[in-house]
Amino acid sequence: MRGIERSIVHYGETAIAFLENMQKADDRGSALGCISAVTLEEMFVTDYHRGDPSGDPATLGDHLPPRVPLVATSPEEGTTV
């Protein structure tokens, strides 16, 4: 457990805050150095790929999609409840 905790680079209050920071890193050209993995709901991945990490329809189209997209995967053994 300590090893996992030491490897964490970012904490955030919400997934939206994390994705907004990820978008800023992508804008700077440093998205690949920002994270290696994150647990998100699928709708957040879709919103991020639209350039709207907040998911707010009022801001859709205000920002271009990211240059480095997220890649969604699902664990072989299923998800935890």
38 contacts: CB under 8 Å, gap ≥ 6 = 18, 70
pLDDT of residue 49: 95
**Could you read off the pLDDT of 20-65 as tens digits, one per residue?**
988 999 999 998 887 777 888 889 999 999 999 999 999 999 999 9
Q: For 3, which DSSP code? A: H
- Domain map (residue ranges) of the chain: 2-59
